Chain A
Amino acid sequence: MSAVLASPDTATADGATWRVAGQVRWRLWEDEAAVYSGRTGDTHHLADLAAWVFGFLCRGPASATGLARAAETSVELRSGEAPGAAIGRTLALLGRLNLIEKTRPEQGR
């Protein structure tokens, strides 16, 4: 189990393509998500940008750049924060939780 995930704190957008890692179960309620990872057996609560990024990747793999572009029109970011940096930090944190993983270039879209 993890605590609420709303404020990722490190990482960069490096152009890699990301996808959901392994089998997951999830529900989205009011812009927050509960996610079960079959890979780790952990259940997580994702809020704000983390929930949005995870939901986006559940529809298919995406690059950080693609996510940042989509985020500009779809999600409210912290004031003054560049979408690329916020997405990069969020991807890194979701990756550390084993909810998402980088794909090899030929596997991405």
Chain B
Amino acid sequence: MSAETVYLRLGPFTAALTTPFTDVVEELKRLYPASFFQPRAEFADFHVALLPGKGMHRHLRKQARFLIDGQEHFKPLPADQALALIEWGLNYAIAGLAHHYLIVHAAAVEKNGRVAILPGSPGAGKSTLTAGLIHRGWRLLSDELALIRRHDGKVVPLARPVNLKNQSIDLMRRFAPTAVFSAPAYDTVKGTVALMRAPEESLARIDEAASPGWIVFPQWRQGDPARLERFSRPAGLVEIAHNAMNYSLHGEDGFELLAGIFAKSGCYRFSYGDLNEAASAMNALAAA
């Protein structure tokens, strides 16, 4: 297998991806716009590779390995999970290397010039809510890593495909029937996963950073009506700091950055059980 290298734009970053898995590159080209790919680049922030497995396992089941700067940080996965492995690996690379941003494990969506940062622990419904909102008038900045610029507190877009899991995949296929989805990968560590391409408007506005307007902690609960409740800013600040990948590295500057954001943003807990209701509630918040 001969490997090719493509240069893929990831928001403010460029990743040089080398792989012989041509089918995976083709799938990436369905999920990212053509303008995000370059045959060559003068500089890449991340040099990553998706390579076939080695050792005896590769004879039993085709495997894929993900390397960052030649280092293998993950166990190999079955080759049919290679696309998910790339997305997770790229998240890992960004979270581990892009310390000129405060990186919060959160989704970020924008409407009317203001960003809602949506932190959430796994299972909170963060990605599902994000996927729903970006098909109801919100712009996707990120579904997984909110990049907060240190000098002005603005959130910088990544606009990568949204990671969907398990029931959320079919839910979103019904909610946004025109959206582009990857083939599902089954039996991953997160269950069944699929990627959903960002809407074209989000991709076109990839260079537009925006200021936070709301910090919203979502929690999906089946059957719950959509309900926004004011939440303590100090409690929210501690929680979002806890969700940040590199808060400790930034020390008091990280605190000041978050304090500045919370001073200018509404802070809410948001429970929801239905995406249409959730979108209506969030749209009302943005219109207020």
Listed in ascending order, the chain A residues whose CB lies under 8 Å from chain B are 1-2, 4, 23, 25, 27, 29-30, 32-34, 36, 38, 41, 43-47, 51
Contact = CB atoms under 8 A, between A and B. Distances in A.
A104 to B, nearest CB: 27
A4 B235 contact: yes
B34 interface: no
Contacts of B238: 1-2, 4, 34, 43-45
Interface in B225-240: 232-235, 237-238
Contacts of B248: 41
A47 B234 CA distance: 9
Given A25-B255, A25-B259, A41-B251, A32 B242 contact: no
Given A1-B241, A43-B237, A45-B237, A36 B232 contact: no
B179 to A, nearest CB: 37
A45 B234 contact: yes
Contacts of B251: 38, 41
Interface of B: 232-235, 237-238, 241-242, 247-248, 251-252, 255-256, 259, 262-263
Nearest to A38: B252
A29 B233 contact: yes
Contacts of A23: 252
Contact of B256 (A25, A29, A47, A51): A25
Contacts of B235: 4, 32, 45
Contacts, number: 56
A100 to B, nearest CB: 17
B242 A36 contact: no
A43 to B, nearest CB: 5
Given A1-B242, A41-B248, A36 B234 contact: no
Contacts of B247: 43
Nearest to B248: A41
Contacts of B233: 27, 29-30, 32, 34
Contacts of A32: 232-235
22 contacts: A1-B238, A1-B241, A4-B235, A23-B252, A25-B259, A27-B233, A27-B237, A27-B262, A27-B263, A29-B232, A29-B233, A29-B234, A30-B232, A32-B233, A34-B234, A34-B237, A34-B238, A34-B255, A34-B259, A34-B262, A36-B252, A47-B234
A24 to B, nearest CB: 9
B262 A45 contact: no
Most chain A CB within a 10 A radius of its CB, from B235, B251, B256: B235
A52 to B, nearest CB: 13
Contacts of B259: 25, 27, 34
Contacts of B234: 27, 29, 32-34, 45-47, 51
A29 B241 CA distance: 17
A30 B259 CA distance: 14
A83 B253 CA distance: 36
B232 A43 contact: no
Looking at A29, A41, A44, the one whose CB has the most chain B CB atoms below 10 A away is A29
Given A34-B255, A36-B255, 11 more contacts: A1-B241, A25-B255, A27-B263, A29-B232, A29-B262, A30-B233, A32-B232, A32-B233, A34-B233, A38-B251, A45-B235
Contacts of A47: 232, 234
A72 B145 CA distance: 46
A25 B241 CA distance: 14
Contacts of B242: 1
